[in-house]
Amino acid sequence: MKKYLIAGPRHPTPGGPPPRPGLHARSTASPGTHADHIDSIADIGLLFDGHFNAERGITDNDFLLAAATLGVEVAAIQAVAEVETLGNPFDSQGRPTILYERHYFHRLTQGRFDATHPAISQATTGGYGKSREQYPKLAEAWHLAPDAALRSASWGRFQIMGNNFLAAGFTSAAAMVLAHARAEPEHLRAFVQFVAHNKPMLGALRRNDWETFALLYNGPGYKKNRYDEKMASAYARIKAAAQQFPPGQH
């Protein structure tokens, strides 16, 4: 069964063209890697300096089941994945790709670290920095307020905020992070739960109403990054390609 890897992590600096989606073989975690041992909140500290080999890729059947569960088209889910993740769902060390949001950390900690740690805690959005800066920022926040730190980053293939752990079907932000660190199919399961939890969002995805979906999924700033346009374009292209090359024939 093929596993799809559709583009990769959302880059903190908008405006760059998304790379083409591609097909890659499944990569499964080997015994003894950190991915096998992340099973407690304390182990999340391994994310900051460890190398991981999580299960990579999402099968055709995974996508079909997710689409059937939500009552949407496979191409619609794949379009969201492509736009949200412009490089890879995992970084060069095998950790889930993240984008750290300083304004979330500010809000969750009532701004008490703004003066002493301004790079990771501010009332305003921005200051994202490069992809390689995301985990150092998260680590700094983790040592100050672990739960708030995990809730202040978006995670994996679909870039769901840790603060949305309940809507994504988890009991804690830590549980969500642990799942994302183990296997890419967990990213898809979280997306299904998250969208199903929000009826207006689900309705928009079923209608392929990308403007409404982007507003609900990405927030009121979606127009700045043209999320609606990018998703509409990706959906049209992926659907056309699927019609030309049905599953199992490419």
Question: What's the mean pLDDT when you consider all of the chain?
Answer: 83
Which residue range is the domain that position 169 belongs to?
Answer: 3-97+146-244
DSSP conformation class of 154: E
Region 206-227: mean pLDDT is: 96
Q: How far apart are CA 213 and CA 201, in angstroms?
A: 6
pLDDT at position 166 is 97
Angle, CA of 167, 9 and 243, to the nearest 5°: 85
DSSP conformation class of 16: P
Q: How many CA atoms does the CB half-sphere of 25 hold within 13 Å?
A: 2
DSSP calls for 190-240: HHHHHHHH-HHHHHHHHTT-HHHHHHHHH-TTHHHHTHHHHHHHHHHHHHH
| Res. 43: pLDDT tops 80 | no
What's the pTM value of the predicted model, to 2 decimals?
0.81
106 is a domain residue: no
Region 24-44: mean pLDDT is: 42
Roughly how many angstroms between the first and final C-alpha of the chain, as a whole number? 12
| Res. 241: pLDDT tops 50 | yes
73 is a domain residue: yes
What are the backbone angles phi and psi of residue 108, rounded to the nearest 5°? -70, -20
Q: How far apart are CA 232 and CA 30, in angstroms?
A: 38
Closest CA relative to residue 149, chosen from 116, 177, 126: 177
Domains of the chain: total? 1
Give the sign of the dihedral formed by CA 31, CA 133, CA 87, CA 92. Answer: negative
DSSP calls for 17-73: PPPPPEEE--B-PPTTSGGGT--STGGGGGGGT-----BB-EEHHHHHHHHHHHTS-
140 is a domain residue: no
Helix (H, G, I), strand (E, B) or coil at 78: helix
Cα-trace Rg, the chain: 17
102 is a domain residue: no
Q: pLDDT tens for residues 56-86?
A: 899 999 999 999 999 999 999 999 999 998 7
7 is a domain residue: yes
Region 141-156: mean pLDDT is: 95
223 is a domain residue: yes
